[in-house]
Structure 1
Amino acid sequence: MRAVEQRGGRDVSEIRATSHGVTRAEARWMIAWSFLLGAAFSALVITGAVVWRWWSAVTWVF
């Protein structure tokens, strides 16, 4: 049977993904959240651009 070494209360087999002390699972969550926030921001920018164009066209008529 393989002996499990402990470091800071965590199993060493839970390998750190980065040098900043972030686990692989935490890194996955950060990537997922950053992707979702980026997509939401992009959607907001695109919606703002569409509304701006529409409002400019509407107000130009009057």
Structure 2
Amino acid sequence: MTNDETRDIPPDDRRIDLDDMYDVRSWMFSLGCSEAELRLAVRDAGERAEDVRAYLYRRK
């Protein structure tokens, strides 16, 4: 997802696309987690960014 695509999407509606490595790296940096942690979080919490953020926060 490029910045132009996310600009008009409310933050709680953003999705994490694990098939897009640019998106994966961007979310890893933003959430402060490894790729494995991100993939586990998406698997367990779903692809909504806010759900993944909450999941990672609970696990730390």
Normalising to structure 2: TM-score of the pair? 0.29
Bigger fraction of residues in strand = 1
Greater RCO (Cα-Cα under 8 Å, separation 6 or more): 2
- Answer 1 or 2: which has greater helix percent: 2
